[in-house]
Amino acid sequence: MSLNMKPLADRVVVEAMEAEDKSAGGIILPDTAKEKPQQGTVVAVGPGKISDSGNLIKMSLKVGDKVLYGKYSGTEVTYEGKEYLIMRESDILAIL
């Protein structure tokens, strides 16, 4: 998948996974009761952060990584009809 959006500095663009339609007990959830997903796939990565000494600190994430992030992390944007989250690399909790 090619995304024509290039995040700046230490930001990443994440495509969130779909929210669960059923609870663990098998109850079908309406849209208003669905939990916000906390997992997604990295679709674009910025070049990295510039340190105080002027050196580039490279990103440890790469396109295609499955990640876990905080429930309310990032900024939601719609680009070319799809929903994405733009967040700093430090908002990512783990690579799955």
Residue with tokens 């059923």: 22
Task: Tell me the pTM.
Answer: 0.80
CA distance linking residue 94 with residue 80, whole number of Å: 28
State the pLDDT confidence band at 3, using cuts at 50, 70 and 90: confident
Q: Quote the pLDDT of residue 22.
A: 62
Q: Residue 1: pLDDT band by 50, 70, 90 thresholds? A: low
The structural domains of the chain, ordered by start, are 11-19+28-95 (2.30.33.40)
Nearest 5°: CA angle at 35, between 20 and 28?
45
Q: Give pLDDT tens digits for 65-91.
A: 999 998 888 999 999 899 999 999 999
Least confident residue range of 10-24, 56-70, 79-93: 10-24
Q: For residue 22, what is the DSSP state?
A: B
